[in-house]
Amino acid sequence: MELRQLRYFVAIVDHGSLSRAARVLHIVQPALTQQIHQLEEELGAQLLHRSAQGMQATDAGKIFYEHAQAILKQVADARSAVTQSTDKPSGTVALPLLTAVRATYPDIVFQLTEELTGNLTEQLRSGRLHFAILFDDDQLGGFNTRAMAEEDMMYITRADSQFATRRKIISLEKALQATLNYLACSTASGRA
């Protein structure tokens, strides 16, 4: 068993597709398939199966996935420990959310992933993720959602600008119109 086989297997499960995993790993799909077959032969178990949702881990694959992730994390930690120097910050970041989940649900494997909203939405639909924190881009129909935070957006201009407004609140439509007017004036006067 080789570390690259573990990385390949984890990538396939994470991306739910041989072709996407091959692109991310920068290898050709036949080579990826061959490495997974060798891994399955060595373990004596089928780890993946193709479904309508893409490549998914079998029950044995789900068990192996947790171990593969743990092994890869230990290897990364070992590399970090060896290359650690006083010049570079290193170590582990422990988030209160992760600590709380681990304390309350010790049998749940919590994986933090940062990706584009569209990628996370697709992973939620396919069942590869169970929950995500996303921006609501009006593409979340069919999901149970709960708002976590609201942000104030501000239209900012110089106080003496002709586009300044005395009102404290301006609609997004009016802010966009003011911006378009500014761009039109700038282009007409050659300032753009």
At 42-55, the pLDDT tens digits run 999 999 998 877 88
Locate CATH 1.10.10.10 in the chain: 3-96
In three-state secondary structure terms, 48 is strand
In three-state secondary structure terms, 50 is strand
CATH code for 3-96? 1.10.10.10
Q: Which two tokens stand for residue 139?
A: 């593409």
Helix pair angle (59-83, 3-15), 10° resolution? 120
Contact between 36 and 12 under an 8 Å Cβ cutoff? The reply is: yes
56, containing H or E segment: strand 54-57
| pTM of this structure | 0.47
- Compute the mean pLDDT over every residue in the chain, rounded to the nearest whole number: 79
For 100-128, write each residue's pLDDT tens digit. Answer: 777 787 777 766 667 777 777 777 777 77
190, containing H or E segment: none
Beta bridge partners of 57: 48
Grade residue 161 by pLDDT with cuts at 50, 70 and 90.
Answer: confident
Q: How far apart are CA 137 and CA 121, in angstroms?
A: 11
Closest CA to 111 of 87, 88, 125, 95: 95
Q: How far apart are CA 166 and CA 143, in angstroms?
A: 40
For 62-101, write each residue's pLDDT tens digit. Answer: 999 989 988 988 888 888 777 765 556 666 666 676 777 7
